[in-house]
Structure 1
């Protein structure tokens, strides 16, 4: 998912840590080299503390890859995730505010033995269109589904059609990971819930009532596409965060919410993105499968 472009301007004052992770002795480390690939649902915009390599990627030292690396006590850890990334940025560099992120596959080595991938939401502008368009349509029909109507053409849900193409792209990404890191355990990480399974919270998710249900169905379609890509690959495990995040959507009360609502908190999370608690939730699930 794409985070706000003003990130570079406001985040420069945040305390930052270095780009590496100091693991423990080789005897204690079950993994030699862990690489994290992904978009902003992996990198963690505005979650303290933000790294500078580059600042525009919005990589947090408390995103789920960093938490997992600490929990596993890996010998070496490379987090090359970047806000705004899509599947093309696995093989193509990414220009970001105040810097450049190299192709994410460049972090992979023949000795890499653990890879996590969180990608797909930005492909074909799916999440960007949802959060950029739907809130502005709510006033037209608060109880209806004006955004779903906008993206339904001749009875075809064009957003979900895009997701079918994303599945093809993600399958290619997995193939590329195996080619570059043939010994690695590969985990494809699904997206946690943004919308609740029932009810609405317009002060947090300013979508029309019907569009909240549609948003949830779109996310389910995206996670299904990721699961299908992993199944087609045959050598990747899909880690489904949708069930694990039940009760932790953006509408959940207080600290129970893993996802930030419409209002960015410059010291906690970007709008519609995971909070630190959400990252901890993903890391905990990943820990059970590593």
Structure 2
């Protein structure tokens, strides 16, 4: 299965102002690209954004938006080449096998975009391997499964792209600490998932960006303050996922965590 060809980055109109309002410092503007080739891997938490701004040529079931955090980050960093392979419902197995769904051709194995000259890789992955409904009550066995599978993903990225800075992200916070809304309540599962992903990144030579730590922007907050949608979004974005402001925050947080080169 051939992967879609990396594309030159189009001009993006992004909500940088929304990200600038956070406590994460914006990355400095540089005249030369900090990274030359950036590959984004992951599930819907990386893929989605505005439902009316899907990336041309991408499978519709992936819901891969032109204002998701990989696209915003690529614009911020002014990378020369950018390949976004993220896709809704992706699991770790879809790094090496095609992913199929309704609407469009299969999404190629996400690892197909990795090359020896890739110098930046972001990864948001793992929740679908245990079933998203289980994330809030994640068990020790499920944590071990994530450690093994996501750890293997990170190892293979290093093998295929040995020059790359590899970044693993947490998932945005869905509930206020100890609170809840829309019939859902914080049971500590997201914190345990975040701790598991952090330990996995540390054990497999990846940088970890803890976007879960940010509070006051979960799906229980009012429109304009929330970075995560509830079941009925107030904007043209995906229910129970990051909205455009949330994706802009993710991009800014990752950019601030990257090394100077």
Task: Give the TM-score range, shorter chain.
Answer: 0.7 to 0.9
Return closer, same or farther for 1:287/1:158 CA change in 2, 3 Å cut-off.
closer
Rounded to whole Å, the distance in 2 between the matches of 1:192 and 1:22 is 26
8 Å Cα contact 2:9/2:74 also seen in 1: no
Matched with 1:278 is 246
The residue correspondences of 1:12-161 to structure 2 (distance < 5 A) are 20-22=7-9, 28-44=32-48, 46-51=50-55, 52-98=57-103, 99-125=105-131, 127-129=132-134, 159-161=139-141
Q: Deviations over 1:94-145 (max 9, x none)?
A: 00212200110000000000000000110021x1456xxxxxxxxxxxxxxx
How far residue 264 of structure 1 moved from its aligned partner, in angstroms, is 5.0
What SS does the corresponding residue of 1:35 show, helix, strand or coil? strand
Given the alignment of the two structures, is residue 239 of structure 1 paired with residue 244 of structure 2, yes or no? no
8 Å Cα contact 2:138/2:193 also seen in 1: no
Structure with the higher helix share, 1 or 2? 1
Given the alignment of the two structures, is residue 250 of structure 1 paired with residue 219 of structure 2, yes or no? yes
Aligned length: 233
Rounded to whole Å, the distance in 1 between the matches of 2:35 and 2:166 is 12
How far residue 262 of structure 1 moved from its aligned partner, in angstroms, is 1.4
8 Å Cα contact 1:29/1:74 also seen in 2: yes
8 Å Cα contact 2:115/2:160 also seen in 1: yes
Q: Deviations over 1:158-189 (max 9, x none)?
A: 64531321111100000000000000000001
Matched with 1:143 is none
Rounded to whole Å, the distance in 2 between the matches of 1:279 and 1:20 is 20
> Normalization by structure 2: what TM-score?
0.83
Give the gaps of 5 or more residues in structure 2: 12-30
Give the RMSD, CA atoms, in angstroms. Answer: 2.2
Return closer, same or farther for 1:200/1:62 CA change in 2, 3 Å cut-off.
same
Matched with 2:255 is 287
Q: 1:260 aligns with which of 203, 211, 229?
A: 229
> Normalization by structure 1: what TM-score?
0.75
What SS does the corresponding residue of 1:247 show, helix, strand or coil? coil
8 Å Cα contact 2:49/2:66 also seen in 1: no
8 Å Cα contact 2:6/2:82 also seen in 1: no
Which structure has the larger Rg over C-alpha atoms?
1
Higher relative contact order at CA 8 Å, sep ≥6: structure 1 or structure 2? Answer: 2
What SS does the corresponding residue of 1:34 show, helix, strand or coil? strand
Return closer, same or farther for 1:42/1:285 CA change in 2, 3 Å cut-off.
same
Return closer, same or farther for 1:59/1:169 CA change in 2, 3 Å cut-off.
same
Give the gaps of 5 or more residues in structure 1: 1-17, 131-147, 149-156
How far residue 47 of structure 1 moved from its aligned partner, in angstroms, is 4.1
8 Å Cα contact 1:187/1:237 also seen in 2: yes
Q: 1:173 aligns with which of 153, 156, 161?
A: 153
